[in-house]
Structure 1
Amino acid sequence: MNEITNFLTNSVSFGFALTLLSFLFSVWLYKKTKFVLFSPLFVSSALVIAVLVLFKIPYGQYLQSADFIYYLMTPVTVALAIPLYRQFQKLRQNALAIVLGIISGIISNALFILGICLIFKIGHKEFVSLLPKSITTPIALAITEQNGGLSALTIMMVSFAGIFCNIFSILLCRLFKITNPVARGVACGTCGHAMGTSKALEMGEVEGAMSGLSIAVCGVLSVVILPFFMGLN
Structure 2
Amino acid sequence: MTPLSTLIEQQPLFAVCITVAAYAASEVLWRKTGRSALLNPVLTATAAVAALLLMLGISYDDYIHRAEPINETLPLLIVLLAVPLCRQFALIRTAGFPMSLALMIGSVVAIASALALPVAMEASDSLLATIAPKSVTTAVAIEIADRLGGVTGVTAVIVISCGIFGAVFGPLLLEAAGVRDDAAKGFALGVASSALGTARAFQISETAGAFASIGMILNAVLTIFLVPAVIAQL
The TM-score with structure 2 as length reference comes to: 0.94
Task: Describe the superposition over 1:173-213 as per-residue Cα deviations: whole angstroms up to 9, x where unpaired.
Answer: 11000122222111011011111011111111111111111
Q: How many angstroms apart in 2 are the aligned matches of 1:18 and 1:96?
A: 44
Deviation at 1:66, TM superposition (A): 1.9
- Secondary structure of the residue aligned to 2:134 is coil
Kindly provide the amino acid, as one letter, of the partner of residue 163 in structure 1: I
What's 1:145 paired with? 146
Aligned twin of 1:7: 7
Where does residue 66 of structure 1 map in the other structure? Answer: 67
Give the CA RMSD over aligned residues. Answer: 1.6
Superposed CA offset, 1:125-167 (max 9, x none): 1221111011011111111001000001110011011111111
Q: Cα offset for 1:62?
A: 1.2
Q: Secondary structure at the match of 1:229?
A: helix
| Distance across 2 between alignment mates of 1:16 and 1:113 | 34
1:210 aligns with 2:196: no
- Give the structure 2 partner of residue 57 of structure 1: 58
Residue 27 of structure 1 corresponds to which residue in structure 2? 27
Residue in 2 aligned with 1:44? 45
Q: Separation in 2 of the partners of 1:110 and 1:220?
A: 14
Letter in 2 for 1:204: S
- Structure-1 residue corresponding to 2:197: 196
CA offset digits 1:54-107 (Å, max 9, x no partner): 222122221232222221211111111111101111111111211221111110
User: Structure 1, unaligned stretches of length 5 or more?
Assistant: none
SS at match of 2:180: coil
Q: For residues 14-54 of structure 1, what are the alpha-carbon distances to aligned partners after superposition, in whole Å with 9 as ceiling and x for unaligned?
A: 10111011111111211222321111100000111111122
**Partner Cα separation in structure 2 for residue 94 and residue 32 of structure 1:** 35
How many residues of Structure 1 are paired with residues of Structure 2 in the alignment?
Answer: 233
CA–CA separation in structure 1 for the residues paired with 2:227 and 2:40: 31
State how far apart, in whole Å, the 1-side matches of 2:119 and 2:198 are.
Answer: 31
Taking structure 1 as the reference length, the TM-score comes to 0.94
Report % sequence identity. 26
Q: Tell me, what secondary structure is at the counterpart of 2:174?
A: helix
User: Which runs of structure 2 are paired with 1:75-90 in the superposition (5 Å)?
Assistant: 75-90=76-91
Tell me which of the two structures has the higher relative contact order, counting C-alpha pairs closer than 8 angstroms and 6 or more residues apart.
1
Q: Distance in 2 between matches of 1:36 and 1:182?
A: 20
Whole-angstrom CA distance in 2 between matches of 1:211 and 1:122:
32
* Stretches of structure 2 lacking an aligned partner (at least 5 in a row): none
The answer for the alignment partner of 1:157 in structure 2 is 158
Asked if 1 retains the 8 angstrom alpha-carbon contact of 2:114 and 2:134, the reply is: no
Partners of 2:126 and 2:164 lie apart in 1 by 24
Cα distance in 2 for partners of 1:122, 1:178 equals: 36
Which amino acid letter does the alignment assign opposite residue 14 of structure 1?
F
- Counterparts of 2:116 and 2:218 in 1: how far apart (Å)? 25
Contact 1:11 1:65 in 2 (8 A): no
Structure 2 partner of 1:16: 16
Residues 88-167 of structure 1 mapped to structure 2, 5 A cutoff: 88-167=89-168
